[in-house]
Structures are given as C-alpha cells and as structure tokens.
Amino acid sequence: MIGGVFVVGALHLDVVVGAPHLPAIDETVIGQSVDCRFGGKGGNQAVAAARFGASTAMAGRVGSDQFGRQLLKELDGAGVDRTQVVVSDGKSGMSVAIVDSSGEYGAVIVSGANSAIDGQMINVPESAGVVLLQNEIPEAANVAVARQAGKQRTVILNAAPAHQVCPELLDRVDLLIVNRCEAEQLTGTRGAEMPEKLAALGPPAVIATLGADGLILVRRDENDLRLTANPVPVVSTHGAGDAFVGALAAEMARGKALESALEFAQSAAAIHVSRKVENRNRIGRREVLAFMNDS
C-alpha cells in the first residue's frame, strides 16, 4: 500500500424510489418501492474505497439532525476515519432519486450542511496518497484541498454533477473523471470529437465512463485507451459511478498502474449495478478479482 485515500465531499441521506418510469411534468406515477440510504458522492466513494481495502479518511459536514447521526454511523460501520466530518447546526444534505424499470435513474440533491464545507478547516493527512474530490461541495473547498495536496499526491476530481471547473482546480488535478452526460456538458459534444475536447480541459488524464459502452481514457501525449464494458444484467445504475471512482482510488493507493486500476474499477461497477441494493456493501476486493478472472 503506497498510501491511503482521503475523500472530501458530500454526505446525503438518499431517498430512492423505484417506479416504472420517471414522471413527466404534471404526471403522477405510481411507484413500487422506497428506501432510505446512505449516500452523497463523497460518502459513497469513501465507503467504496474502504471496502476495496484502502485506509480511508473523509472530510465533510452533516447537520445536527437524525439523518446526520445516521450518516456518521454508516461511516463508522464502513471503517472510514471521520475525524474531519464536522457536525453543524441545521439540516444534513439529502437526495431523492427515482430509478426506472430499466435501472436508470434521475435525482435531485439538496446540499444542506455540505454547502458550508470550509476548505481552510481541512487537513490533508500525511498518509494520503490519493485525494478524491467531487462537485457536490463548494468549489473553493476543492481548490483549497487540491492546493494542500500538492504535487506529491494524486488528485482525482470526479466532476459530478457537471459544472464548469475553475482553471486553478483543473490545473491541480491529475485525473478527471466524468460520465457520458457530464462529458457532454463539459465539452458541448457527444460526437467523435469528444476525446479531443476532454483532453483540452487540461488535466493530464481524463476518463469518461460510458455505461454499457465501456470507458475511454484520454492522456496527454499518449494514445487514447478504450475499455469495453462487462455485460451484466442491470438492477440499478444508482451509485455505480461512485463504486467505480472509489475502487479506482483504492487500487491507485495500493500502487497499481492506472490501466490495471481501471479494469478493476470497471469490474467493481459492473458487480454493483447487477447486485441487489441491500447486498452491495458486501462486494469486496476478492470478489472483484474473481469476477475479472472469470470475464
């Protein structure tokens, strides 16, 4: 193990509803399930990194409500060091997601306490080899953390949800990760010129995950790498991106080369989407390696 994973990001209480389809304007849809779960991209990625064997710490913020207590308990249960998760007055962040019958989803987040995350209060641990950021917290906090992380650590930005990222942050990021929708929002295209436009964003490596179409890795001065997806039956894609990013960070913290870490992360995400939600937190490194051997 070269170092640990340090995640700075959002914690949400997720309300996840299963429905035949997403409602249109003015439509009421009859759903068939509702679940309250631990979430937030930061939280999910921290839990995934820990589950895949990385010593993981997280900085974030929850409110002084029941949701906040529940979120902290889940971090403890997953073995994530939450010394830098602050509890502040007010409401915890939350999200509502509707998962349709094909397993695809649409979601809304309400940031609550996450909007008050202050980068000046965060200390990147000495032991962190990989620093993981997302777009669900104030960008000033991401910039402050990336500055502190410096050049000796790998800084990964999962630019989700997509918004224009400031030049300083792009300059400090070693690896940018987006999904298809975010790639389109950042480059203005989903056509053949997308890889070139992703490369032009600045970071030395950019990954676009493309769901069933696999992924593309675009690197400065190197050929693009395309990986096909492992075909699996889909229960739900909710949180799959976080399983991918957390697994990738854990493998990189272990000292694995980017290409091999990517194959691992892709397999972890494939198992995630095909597994019933209640069994997802049992997916561990050994299972992913076995899946890779069989694929």
Catalytic residue among 76, 118, 242, 294: 242
Which of 242, 247, 253, 269 lies at the binding interface for ligand RIB (CB under 6 A)?
242
Name the strand (E) or helix (H) holding 79. none
Q: Residues 82-111: x/- map of binding to ligand RIB (CB under 6 A)?
A: -------------x-----------x-x--
DSSP type of residue 116: G
The whole-angstrom separation of Cα 269 and Cα 275 is: 10
Q: Which tokens is 294 given?
A: 């069989």
Is 182 among the residues that bind ligand RIB (CB under 6 A)? no
d(CA 231, CA 239): 18
What DSSP character marks residue 55?
A: -
Q: At what angle do helices 240-253 and 41-51 cross, to 10 degrees?
A: 50
Query: 69 vs 220, which CB is nearer to ligand RIB?
Result: 69
CB-closest chain residue to ligand RIB: 39
Give the whole-angstrom CA distance, residue 224 versus residue 116: 38
Binding mask 118-157 for ligand RIB (x = CB under 6 A): ------------------x---------------------
What whole-number distance in Å separates Cα of residue 235 and Cα of residue 182? Answer: 22
The H-or-E segment that residue 27 falls in is none
| Choices 27-35, 80-88, 236-244, 281-289; region in contact with ligand RIB by CB under 6 A | 236-244
- Residue of 3, 239, 254, 280 that binds ligand RIB (CB under 6 A): 239
The residue within the footprint of ligand RIB, chosen from 18, 203, 241, 246 (CB under 6 A), is: 241
β-pair partners for 175:
156, 205
Distance in Å, CB of 268 to ligand RIB, minimum = 14
The residues of the shown chain that bind ligand RIB, judged by CB under 6 A, are: 10, 12, 14, 39-41, 44, 95, 107, 109, 136, 238-239, 241-242
Active site residue ranges: 242
